[in-house]
């Protein structure tokens, strides 16, 4: 098999350390001891994650004529979650240890003893994963609402609004990026599983009978998206859900898995949700959410293909897969080989000295490049140290301004991956970088 013998790029401990040290991801509320499984994106992390979301949106909305976007609210009418089955069925079976008081998912434990201390466990009980809050000033049952556990339902309840305003015909899809919240019992592995997370979801509506064809299309499309953005295909695989794994609404589901440091784990799921959601919301709300096919004269509920990706998991995947260590004399060179489209900083401008004529020229160049790409300016320590610093945050190109630049109006471009250097006129800098970066 193609994945046999392949190893993760690094340990989670190394990537967590780098992420904090270089400003990608910080522990949430750290000065107060942190909040379990909650993280904040730093100056580089927010750029990386935004680039992941932009690349997704560009591919699934901008470059297709059968897709539109949506941004539904986090708070929704509570009956939405009754119709979707979340109020009744979105639960995990839990057990508590009577001795050490730790809590575990019952389906993750074998035997009747606590895996931590060997103490006696309670009987399993159901625990709803949705966060509850109250709408308005009075905290009573009538005011209960939920923080959404998924973005998909916002698309389903807006099906008619999208249909009537865009006049789209089947097949077409609706894409959405947004925050979701799940009161996970066993979060962890850095940003892989958190209680607050961001989803990138598509609900693609198709005529019944064509659903299997479009399922295969989207599975291939989404798998290739990761590869096209630089992920090693040997660390990707597709795993189909067994019948006992399938959600109650699913006809078929496949996970695109990545080899994370903790092993093969879900990166993105592609599900055939059939007509479950539109039918349930139609029945519960009393509003007809079926589709009128003008070509056949039929009314029917479309089937739905759902590619659902986590923006945080995708960010972690790209961060891990970009990580490389290589010998550099007596040291180890750490390089994040991000695809240029994802790199937080595209170009770094480095004056060879802090002397004023050089600094003025370098800052002027940085100002011009910043009109086109995310750019940084760095004049601290030796040029070699600055190159290594940019390598470690994944900057594809460094532009060095030296004393000769004042005379010949030329600068040196240094490539992150090959470390090769070329000298070009300042006047040609933008077009040369545009060609090298690909945009």
Say if residue 291 is in the same domain as residue 364.
no
pLDDT of residue 142: 66
Task: List Cα–Cα distances, 22 to 17, 27, 45, 50, in angstroms.
Answer: 9, 13, 9, 17
Say if residue 202 is in the same domain as residue 53.
yes
Say if residue 286 is in the same domain as residue 197.
yes
Q: What DSSP state is assigned to residue 193? A: B
pLDDT of residue 139: 66
Domain-ending residue, one of 284, 319, 354: 319
Span 392-399, average pLDDT: 98
pLDDT of residue 106: 64
- Mean pLDDT, rounded, of the chain: 91
Domain-ending residue, one of 303, 319, 335: 319
Residue 188: pLDDT over 80:
no
Tokens found for residue 137: 């000033």
Closest CA to 158 of 213, 108, 224, 203: 203
Closest CA to 421 of 437, 436, 438, 400: 400
The region of weakest confidence among 72-81, 245-254, 277-286 is: 245-254
Span 405-427, average pLDDT: 96
Domain assignment of residue 84, yes or no: no
Domain assignment of residue 141, yes or no: no
pLDDT in tens, 230-243: 999 999 999 999 98
pLDDT of residue 367: 97
pLDDT in tens, 148-169: 999 999 999 999 999 999 989 9
Domain-ending residue, one of 285, 319, 353: 319
Say if residue 290 is in the same domain as residue 395.
no
pLDDT of residue 103: 66
pLDDT of residue 168: 92
Say if residue 419 is in the same domain as residue 383.
yes
Span 377-398, average pLDDT: 95
Say if residue 187 is in the same domain as residue 278.
yes
Highest mean pLDDT, choosing among 78-92, 97-111, 130-144, 363-377: 363-377
Instruction: Please tell me which residue, 382 or 139, carries the higher pLDDT value.
Output: 382
DSSP assignments along 383-403, one per residue? HHHHHHHHHHHT-SEEEEE-T
Number of domains in the chain: 2
pLDDT of residue 233: 96
Residue 1: pLDDT over 60:
no
Residue 216: pLDDT over 60:
yes
pLDDT of residue 89: 59
pLDDT in tens, 42-51: 999 999 999 9
Domain assignment of residue 197, yes or no: yes
pLDDT of residue 174: 98
pLDDT of residue 88: 72
pLDDT in tens, 5-25: 789 989 999 999 999 999 999
- CATH code of the domain in which 167 resides: 3.30.930.10
Q: How confident is the model at residue 274 (pLDDT cuts 50, 70, 90)?
A: very high
- CATH code of the domain in which 417 resides: 3.40.50.800
Domain assignment of residue 45, yes or no: yes
Q: How confident is the model at residue 114 (pLDDT cuts 50, 70, 90)?
A: confident
Cα-atom radius of gyration of the chain, to the nearest Å?
25
* Count of residues making up the chain: 439
Domain assignment of residue 255, yes or no: yes
Say if residue 266 is in the same domain as residue 401.
no
Domain assignment of residue 162, yes or no: yes
Q: How confident is the model at residue 96 (pLDDT cuts 50, 70, 90)?
A: confident
Tokens found for residue 155: 């698309």
Say if residue 377 is in the same domain as residue 307.
no
Alpha-carbon distance of 393 to 338, in angstroms, equals 9
pLDDT in tens, 119-133: 878 777 666 788 888
Domain assignment of residue 100, yes or no: no
Say if residue 253 is in the same domain as residue 386.
no
Domain assignment of residue 373, yes or no: yes
pLDDT of residue 352: 94
pLDDT of residue 5: 78
Residue 143: pLDDT over 90:
no
pLDDT of residue 152: 95
Say if residue 304 is in the same domain as residue 430.
no
Which 3-state string (H, E, C) describes 239-293? EECCCCCCCCCCCEEEEEEEEECCEEEEEEEEEEEECHHHHHHHHHHCCCCCEEE
pTM: 0.90
Say if residue 368 is in the same domain as residue 283.
no
Say if residue 302 is in the same domain as residue 387.
no
Residue-number span of the structural domain to which 429 is assigned: 345-437
Angle between helices 43-57 and 311-322 (to 10 degrees): 110
Residue 344: pLDDT over 90:
yes
């Amino acid at each position: 098999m193609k994945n046999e013998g392949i190893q993760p790029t690094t340990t989670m401990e190394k990537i967590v350390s780098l992420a904090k040290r270089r400003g990608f991801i910080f522990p949430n509320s750290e000065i107060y001891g942190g909040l379990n499984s909650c993280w904040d994106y730093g100056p580089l992390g927010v750029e990386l994650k935004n680039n992941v979301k932009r690349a997704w949106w560009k591919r699934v909305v901008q470059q297709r004529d059968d897709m539109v976007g949506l941004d539904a609210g986090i708070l929704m009418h509570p009956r939405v979650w009754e119709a979707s089955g979340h109020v009744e069925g979105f639960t995990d079976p839990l057990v508590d240890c009577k001795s050490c008081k730790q809590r575990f998912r019952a389906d993750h434990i074998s035997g009747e003893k606590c895996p931590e201390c060997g103490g006696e466990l309670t009987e399993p009980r159901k625990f709803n994963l949705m966060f509850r809050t109250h709408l308005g000033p009075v905290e009573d049952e009538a005011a209960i609402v939920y923080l959404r556990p998924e973005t998909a339902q916002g698309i389903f309840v807006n099906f008619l609004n999208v249909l009537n305003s865009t006049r789209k015909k089947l097949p077409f899809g609706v894409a959405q990026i947004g925050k979701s919240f799940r009161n996970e019992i066993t979060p962890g592995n850095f940003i892989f599983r958190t209680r607050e997370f961001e989803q990138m979801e598509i609900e693609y509506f198709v005529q019944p009978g064509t659903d299997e064809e479009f399922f295969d299309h989207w599975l291939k499309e989404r798998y290739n998206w990761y590869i096209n953005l630089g992920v090693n295909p040997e660390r990707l695989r597709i795993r189909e859900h067994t019948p006992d794994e399938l959600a109650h609404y699913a006809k078929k589901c496949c996970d695109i898995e990545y080899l994370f440091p903790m092993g093969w784990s879900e990166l993105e799921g592609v599900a055939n949700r059939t007509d479950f959601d539109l039918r349930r919301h139609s029945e519960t709300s009393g509003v007809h959410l079926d589709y009128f096919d003008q070509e056949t004269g039929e009314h029917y509920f479309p089937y739905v293909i759902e590619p659902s990706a986590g923006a945080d998991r995708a960010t972690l995947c790209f961060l891990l897969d970009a990580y490389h260590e290589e010998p550099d004399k007596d040291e180890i060179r750490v390089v994040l080989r991000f695809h240029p489209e994802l790199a937080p900083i595209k170009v770094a401008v480095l004056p060879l000295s802090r002397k004023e004529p050089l600094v003025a020229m370098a800052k002027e160049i940085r100002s011009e490049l910043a009109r086109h790409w995310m750019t940084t300016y760095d004049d601290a320590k030796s040029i070699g140290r600055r190159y290594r610093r940019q390598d470690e945050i994944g900057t594809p190109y460094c532009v060095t301004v030296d004393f000769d630049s004042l005379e010949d109006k030329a600068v040196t471009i240094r490539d992150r991956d090959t470390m090769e250097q070329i000298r070009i006129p300042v006047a040609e800098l933008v077009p040369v970088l545009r060609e090298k970066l690909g945009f």
